[in-house]
Amino acid sequence: MIDKGLDGVPIFRNLGSQMDREGHVKIENHIYPTADRIAALMGNPSAEPIVMLNLLKFRDKAVYADGRATALTGREAYMLYGEAMRKVVEKNGGRFVFQAAIEQLVIGEVEQMWDIVALVEYPSASAFAKIATSPEVSEIGVHRAAGLEGQLLIRVQQRPF
């Protein structure tokens, strides 16, 4: 979403509805994708691999929808999901590429910083959608939902410089 001005300095395109009244980009963390976004991925005919950029914010304490008592932190609950998800992704031809703790915001402002960034590669957009909506992922997803305060999941495409 970056164009270059006459002097070669990057300028940002109009982001329309993604901007608030003060001209700031709106950021909303969510736990699950919308049905129309999953449908778009399912309908994508490309067989090219995709990478998902995950920005994860954990709850201080895990909260399970079924009300079960737990001493787990949000991070610990999410990691139960993460380890199981790694097996599912790898079994279906994907791979976990990178994971790191987020240490510092250098440019910009956000109300709350995310805790972890992760890159996960999937064989294709439709493969991602099939994995994400599978009964297996639904079953382990209870730990994900219990641990996450919110997430941004961004599909990225590697391009040469």
**Residue 117 domain boundaries:** 28-156
Q: Tell me the pLDDT tens digit for each residue of 47-82.
A: 899 999 999 999 999 999 999 999 999 999 999 999
User: Structural domain tally of the chain?
Assistant: 1
Judge whether 152 and 68 are in contact, CB under 8 Å. no
Residue 5 falls within a domain, yes or no? Answer: no
Secondary structure of 46-71 in HEC code, one letter for each residue: CCCCEEEEEEEEECCCCCCCCCCCCC
In this prediction the pTM is 0.77
Over range 147-153, report the average pLDDT.
93
In a domain, 1, yes or no: no
Q: Which three-class secondary structure state does DSSP give residue 20?
A: coil
For residue 2, is it within any domain? no
Residue 64 maps to a domain:
yes
**Mean pLDDT computed over every residue of the chain:** 84
Does residue 137 form part of some domain?
A: yes
Give a yes or no: residue 80 inside a domain. Answer: yes
Asked whether residue 16 is domain-assigned, the answer is no
Domain assignment present for 39: yes
Give the pLDDT band of residue 16 (cuts 50, 70, 90).
very low
Question: Which domain CATH number covers 109?
Answer: 3.30.70.100
Pairwise CA distance, residues 137 & 140, whole Å: 5
